[in-house]
Structure 1
């Protein structure tokens, strides 16, 4: 069983690197099997199809990302993103890129993307509550937009975009705290 898990892990790692670098459509099965060092039969045995492979890659990436952003503040969230980019690279959101590349028509990919984005919205909403002590959907949406924009701007502008997003988030959170009624 361990060998099977090792093969699957190697396949997912190789596929994620290729999909992230070259895209879903441009990455052929021959390239995938060669990079993972497995036969096409083994690939299909472990994931069933290219769509199944992409869904498995997105699920694994989502689990890694969730662990990375398991933090207690908005600032720590953006700091975790900086670390993510440093370790994983920055080519934009793999979930959105793959979903867009497939036209949103591949159910496994659309579901993985929807699940990941719902998690992001929920996480940011919870961080807003921890920061200001109450729900503020408008603030959560503003932070989500900053997050999404920073993810993409980082790809062509680099680290400075993470710092800019952190400053903007700090400004937004400070303004929201100032609006909160004072309790005595």
Structure 2
């Protein structure tokens, strides 16, 4: 396995569980089994490490979204929450913790959220044979809401969102 990837796999659970700001460099280096010098050598700063964790998480998340229907898209969210946990969106949590003032984090969030909207748009166009920006926005809000709601209601919220998405798509066909 790639050394940088091993570090990212070791520190991501700390960031996810404890937050970015509460995960100090001592905890991160202990988890990764490397010195702070090694972390800085590979990532430049804690911010660089945070951005790299978000990029890797985004890569993993995108790999689950190679689907053709809205139902499969929301099923992928259900799987993600069941496997990764229900603590809300790590991207939005990073943005909140950094106050939106850290360019690397803002860029990672914007990239991930733009991808989500574009992916939903592609699925809707294929499934309905037409672009429906109103439906794309509704599904995006539903997806984001399910992600956030799972943090306090549990993973079953994703199932409810999947059912609601089905209703939205059915109504859009009428």
TM-score (ref. length: structure 2): 0.97
Matched, 1:10 2:11: no
Structure 1 runs, 4 residues or longer, greater than 4 Å off: none
Q: CA deviation at 1:21?
A: 0.5
Task: Report the alpha carbon displacement of residue 160 of structure 1 after superposing the two structures with TM.
Answer: 2.2
CA RMSD of aligned residues (A): 1.0
Runs of 5+ unmatched residues, structure 2: none
| 1:91 pairs with one of 62, 65, 87 | 87
Structure 2 equivalent of residue 64 of structure 1:
60
Gaps of 5+ in 1: 179-184
Q: CA deviation at 1:169?
A: 0.6
Contact 2:86 2:155 survives alignment (8 Å)? no
Q: Distance in 1 between matches of 2:156 and 2:42?
A: 40
Asked if 1:45 corresponds to 2:24, the answer is: no
- Specify which structure has the bigger relative contact order, considering alpha-carbon pairs within 8 angstroms and separated by 6 or more residues: 2
In 2: Cα distance, 1:41 partner to 1:11 partner: 13
CA–CA distance in 2 between the matches of 1:21 and 1:105? 22
1:159 Cα deviation from its structure 2 partner: 2.8
Distance 1:143 1:164 in 2: 13
Q: 2:17 aligns with which of 21, 24, 42?
A: 21
